[in-house]
Structure 1
């Protein structure tokens, strides 16, 4: 056991003077305290929007060249990365290997705390190495404190391999910032319960990760307007969503389709939402629509701007 004096606490570990009596107040006042502290989160994230935007553009550029988006974190931070990565295939139709999440302690740590794993910097480096990370990839290190060894080890290895490195922390941490090209640091202040970074820090990280993945997918042509056009209709709810998207997309461009015509169009296009939209708005064949989408790198807007191929 290490009996030395611990380092000074990071901001995420500091005691919050506004909640020192949280165990003494009535329950309604308790949740008001929590709610009051939560109001600081969107303001803190707003301060970091220029850095979030820079990260989105840099990640999208590399992904357009064939790269991946890789999250690496431990504990709550790692689980948030896993959550965001796992939502990309059903939301944006991406293959599972395109957005990947690494968590200290492996898959067991998703549901069971493996606390000691976060102290292993070598494991972070090994996990990055195992993915054969390269210059086209983007690695986002998520660590509320900004000093988690597993994350720092992974970022150092990713940087050594030429990958784009991005840091997401809720404090200014020199060691993390030295390893990344873009540092995103929403400063949410001390937690309601000291050190419980699943609270404000976790919420801020979730907000930023939502922006990163959504912004990148928009830049990759995974939406048309604000419609989720790469949705995979794998169940009844998603089939109905696909139907609504096709109908709304066509209507927004002046092409009104009946309910039955929309279902027929989707069936004709094998349930492919993007293909159905291009067919519905240009009257080309599904094969021609697919060719246009391929030429447009998956962007419905660019596909619609192409001239109709000569017969």
Structure 2
């Protein structure tokens, strides 16, 4: 299954970012620390015309700290880019964002040349929470559902620091299948764009490979860790269902119920600190996805250019 979600308001957001990028100094892109590569918008560099970028790896308190360190090193090695990790609800680390912006654009500041910053990110990544923390008040709507913010907002963090907040935006076509599943598991796409059971099985496949101990601790499966890692995904999900009472008539597995349970446990963080991808894994997925997409595009062009068969002359 290919997960895609690009509702109408995202077209408007894309246009708004393109226009706003002409007059901003720094771009803040917020990423989900549990899926930093999958939550990075590949369109952003194009839309913002190569402006200095601050990658804010949010929700670090829910992510694997060792993998977060790998991602920070990955992004900090890129030109004209800084990366910091934080929990958007905590004031002191969030304030480090302002200092980082002035590092990226040292010639800005003061009333004559105020800092103009555009903040972007996928839906449900925590932008509104961060903005409320920076302002010290509730000015932006927050929630655990994708698509809460629908219009651009201009916010004043200081007399010489303007922040332009845009609605969460994905990209028109997700070419990396693994990213689609990770985004769905995190809550970044609308519920009508994916099947809970498919997403839960993909999520479980990643969890059992790297976080079997967390699965055992949460669900009390009574299985050795090597057994957890080697069990087929459906068998492992069935074991979780039996432990958590997701059982239907006659002892059958209630697949929808256990899928929702697993996704909810991941999103809430009760499974522990988890990151679904490393930079190396994501780059491999990306290369494979881009190659497959190029092949699809070539086949599409071939079909379009193929001469149509002439209808027989019935005269």
TM-score of the superposition, structure 1-length normalised?
0.32
TM-score of the superposition, structure 2-length normalised?
0.32
Greater share of residues in strand:
2
